[in-house]
Amino acid sequence: MSKDRKKIRFTVTESGTIHEIETYIHEYPNLMFLLRDKLFLDDFGECGGVGRCATCVIRLNSIERNALKKDRNEPATLSKLGYTAENIRLSCQLYITTDLEDSQIEILEL
Protein backbone atom coordinates (compact mmCIF):
# COMPACT_ATOMS: atom_id res chain seq x y z
CA MET A 1 0.00 0.00 0.00
CA SER A 2 1.41 3.40 -0.95
CA LYS A 3 1.84 6.05 1.70
CA ASP A 4 -0.97 8.16 0.19
CA ARG A 5 -3.43 5.26 0.52
CA LYS A 6 -2.83 4.91 4.26
CA LYS A 7 -6.15 4.59 6.02
CA ILE A 8 -7.13 7.32 8.46
CA ARG A 9 -9.81 6.67 11.03
CA PHE A 10 -11.57 9.12 13.32
CA THR A 11 -14.98 9.74 14.83
CA VAL A 12 -17.42 12.54 14.12
CA THR A 13 -20.27 13.51 16.43
CA GLU A 14 -23.18 15.15 14.70
CA SER A 15 -26.48 15.95 16.49
CA GLY A 16 -25.55 13.46 19.21
CA THR A 17 -24.77 10.60 16.83
CA ILE A 18 -21.21 9.26 16.65
CA HIS A 19 -20.01 8.25 13.20
CA GLU A 20 -16.90 6.14 12.59
CA ILE A 21 -15.15 7.60 9.55
CA GLU A 22 -12.54 5.86 7.45
CA THR A 23 -10.72 7.68 4.67
CA TYR A 24 -7.23 8.10 3.28
CA ILE A 25 -4.84 10.98 2.72
CA HIS A 26 -6.30 13.61 0.38
CA GLU A 27 -9.35 11.50 -0.51
CA TYR A 28 -11.25 14.82 -0.44
CA PRO A 29 -9.96 18.37 -1.01
CA ASN A 30 -10.62 19.13 2.67
CA LEU A 31 -12.53 17.88 5.71
CA MET A 32 -15.68 19.88 4.89
CA PHE A 33 -16.17 18.02 1.61
CA LEU A 34 -15.66 14.68 3.35
CA LEU A 35 -18.20 15.47 6.09
CA ARG A 36 -20.75 16.79 3.61
CA ASP A 37 -20.38 13.71 1.43
CA LYS A 38 -20.30 11.00 4.08
CA LEU A 39 -22.87 12.44 6.48
CA PHE A 40 -25.26 14.04 3.96
CA LEU A 41 -25.28 17.34 5.81
CA ASP A 42 -27.66 20.08 4.70
CA ASP A 43 -26.54 23.72 4.74
CA PHE A 44 -22.95 22.69 5.48
CA GLY A 45 -20.09 24.33 3.60
CA GLU A 46 -22.20 26.88 1.79
CA CYS A 47 -19.30 29.00 0.48
CA GLY A 48 -17.65 25.97 -1.09
CA GLY A 49 -14.62 26.05 1.13
CA VAL A 50 -13.20 29.56 0.89
CA GLY A 51 -13.46 30.17 4.62
CA ARG A 52 -16.13 32.88 4.62
CA CYS A 53 -19.52 31.37 5.48
CA ALA A 54 -18.71 29.59 8.77
CA THR A 55 -21.29 26.87 8.11
CA CYS A 56 -18.64 24.16 8.53
CA VAL A 57 -17.51 24.79 12.12
CA ILE A 58 -16.16 21.84 14.10
CA ARG A 59 -14.45 21.18 17.42
CA LEU A 60 -11.35 19.01 17.33
CA ASN A 61 -10.54 16.83 20.29
CA SER A 62 -7.50 14.62 20.69
CA ILE A 63 -5.59 15.88 17.71
CA GLU A 64 -2.01 16.65 16.80
CA ARG A 65 -1.10 20.19 17.74
CA ASN A 66 0.17 21.12 14.26
CA ALA A 67 -3.36 20.56 12.91
CA LEU A 68 -4.57 23.45 15.02
CA LYS A 69 -2.79 26.22 13.13
CA LYS A 70 -5.22 28.64 11.53
CA ASP A 71 -4.41 30.74 8.52
CA ARG A 72 -6.03 32.71 5.70
CA ASN A 73 -9.60 33.87 6.51
CA GLU A 74 -10.20 31.42 9.30
CA PRO A 75 -9.50 33.44 12.48
CA ALA A 76 -11.54 36.42 11.23
CA THR A 77 -14.48 34.23 10.16
CA LEU A 78 -14.54 32.33 13.45
CA SER A 79 -14.21 35.42 15.61
CA LYS A 80 -17.35 36.89 14.01
CA LEU A 81 -19.19 33.99 15.67
CA GLY A 82 -17.32 34.45 18.93
CA TYR A 83 -15.13 31.37 18.49
CA THR A 84 -11.57 31.96 19.65
CA ALA A 85 -10.64 28.56 21.11
CA GLU A 86 -7.67 26.90 19.42
CA ASN A 87 -9.56 23.67 18.74
CA ILE A 88 -12.53 25.29 17.00
CA ARG A 89 -11.90 25.16 13.26
CA LEU A 90 -13.49 25.63 9.89
CA SER A 91 -13.49 22.11 8.49
CA CYS A 92 -12.91 23.51 5.00
CA GLN A 93 -9.48 24.67 6.13
CA LEU A 94 -8.32 21.20 7.19
CA TYR A 95 -6.72 18.78 4.77
CA ILE A 96 -7.23 15.04 5.08
CA THR A 97 -3.91 14.06 6.61
CA THR A 98 -2.66 11.70 9.28
CA ASP A 99 -3.10 14.56 11.79
CA LEU A 100 -6.76 13.48 11.88
CA GLU A 101 -5.95 9.88 12.85
CA ASP A 102 -7.83 8.82 16.01
CA SER A 103 -9.23 12.32 16.50
CA GLN A 104 -12.69 13.06 17.80
CA ILE A 105 -14.48 15.70 15.78
CA GLU A 106 -17.71 17.37 16.76
CA ILE A 107 -19.83 19.31 14.29
CA LEU A 108 -21.02 22.48 16.01
CA GLU A 109 -24.60 23.58 15.53
CA LEU A 110 -24.85 27.24 14.58
In the bound complex, what is the minimum distance in angstroms from residue 25's beta carbon to ligand FES?
20
Kindly provide the b/e burial profile for residues 56-86, where b requires at least 16 CB atoms within 10 angstroms of the residue's own CB: bbbebeebeeebeebeebbeebbeeeebeee
In the bound complex, what is the minimum distance in angstroms from residue 95's beta carbon to ligand FES?
13
Q: Site map for ligand FES, 20-59, x if CB under 6 A?
A: ------------x------------xxx-x-xxxxxx---
Binders of ligand FES among residues 62 to 101 (CB under 6 A) are 77, 90, 92
